[in-house]
Amino acid sequence: MTLVNANGASIPTLGFGTFRMEAADTERMVSHVLKQGYRHIDTAKIYGNEAAVGQGFKASAIPRPDVFLTTKVWVANYGRDAFLASVDESLKKLETDYVDLLLLHWPNTAVSLEEQIAALNDVAKAGKARHIGVSNFNTTLMKEAARLSRMPLANNQIEYHPYLDQQPVIATASELGMSITAYYAMADGKVIADRMLQEIAAVHKRSVAQVVLRWIVQQGCVVLSKTVSETRAAENAAIFDFELSADDMGTIAKLARPDGRIVSPDGLAPEWDVAG
């Protein structure tokens, strides 16, 4: 498994996502993918499946230090006391003393960003998170969060797939020494039927899913994929033994469109950056 290094963190390039997964599927798949070779699991308090992630991890018998575990604090818990209690509850459910990466799940103004970042730092200082970061932050918020943080921020987890140009956020992350993790890499399944992607996949004798995941990792980003299928999990992991050409990379980037964003919940989404 390759790693993405950023501000002191070494993050396994491919992570297994657990959003919208029932507890039984989560436990089964987390155990399975860890045995299969995945070394990075992504969950969140709001997914309601941290206990199942913990059970799956235990069942895999993979040593704790070998696995990179990410969870996120939900916006309703950004007040200091609630924040600390949320992290403790996540750790208890995950049956671990620490997570490798703790993220603010979405920007939120109910509590000042300064207070949110201070809580993240304090959790890290207490040894409960090895690295800290954000999710769904625009470039302005990323810069502000980085300025406020005593510890360097390691990551911004964002929606990223061929239909959404995220160059402004990727460039800002690079300036700040941060990494990007792509979620919804398959555009919630929409990429699979794309003619252009099917043509590129045929040339490489790969699936569209593999081409899209490869397109993201070849840009130096971390990528998440979720599936309830053992076969698809294996397919999604087989992306480190082929390379897309510069032409392929450019052709896929040109699939981006102004209405390509899928995840933009009212009351949570910040003012998104517009690519030039």
Told to judge if 163 belongs to the known catalytic residues of this protein, a careful annotator would answer no
Q: Which positions lie near ligand NAP, rule CB under 6 A?
A: 17-20, 42, 135-136, 157, 183-189, 192, 207, 209, 224-229, 232, 235-236, 263
- Residue pair 14/40 in contact by the 8 Å Cβ criterion: yes
CB closer to ligand NAP, 82 vs 192: 192
CB closer to ligand NAP, 20 vs 254: 20
Distance of closest approach, residue 84 Cβ to ligand NAP, in angstroms: 21
Residue 189 CA, distance from chain mean position: 17
C-alpha span between 56 and 30 (Å, rounded): 5
Distance of closest approach, residue 57 Cβ to ligand NAP, in angstroms: 15
Residue 10 CA, distance from chain mean position: 14
CA atoms within 13 A on the CB side of 137: 29
- Residue pair 244/215 in contact by the 8 Å Cβ criterion: yes
CB closer to ligand NAP, 247 vs 259: 259
At 248, list the tokens: 């392929």
Instruction: Provide the residue type at 91 as one letter.
Output: L
CA atoms within 13 A on the CB side of 219: 29
Distance of closest approach, residue 276 Cβ to ligand NAP, in angstroms: 24
CB closer to ligand NAP, 124 vs 187: 187
At 74, list the tokens: 């939900």
C-alpha span between 69 and 65 (Å, rounded): 10
Distance of closest approach, residue 220 Cβ to ligand NAP, in angstroms: 18
Please give the residue whose beta carbon sits closest to ligand NAP in the complex: 17
CB closer to ligand NAP, 145 vs 224: 224
CB closer to ligand NAP, 15 vs 248: 15
Tell me which of 38, 47, 160, 163 is the catalytic residue.
Answer: 47
Task: Identify the three-state secondary structure at position 201.
Answer: helix
Beta bridge partners of 179: 155
Distance of closest approach, residue 271 Cβ to ligand NAP, in angstroms: 17
Backbone angles phi, psi at 78, to 5 degrees: -80, -15
Task: Identify the three-state secondary structure at position 3.
Answer: strand
Distance of closest approach, residue 71 Cβ to ligand NAP, in angstroms: 10
- Residue pair 78/111 in contact by the 8 Å Cβ criterion: yes
Which residues are known to be catalytic?
47
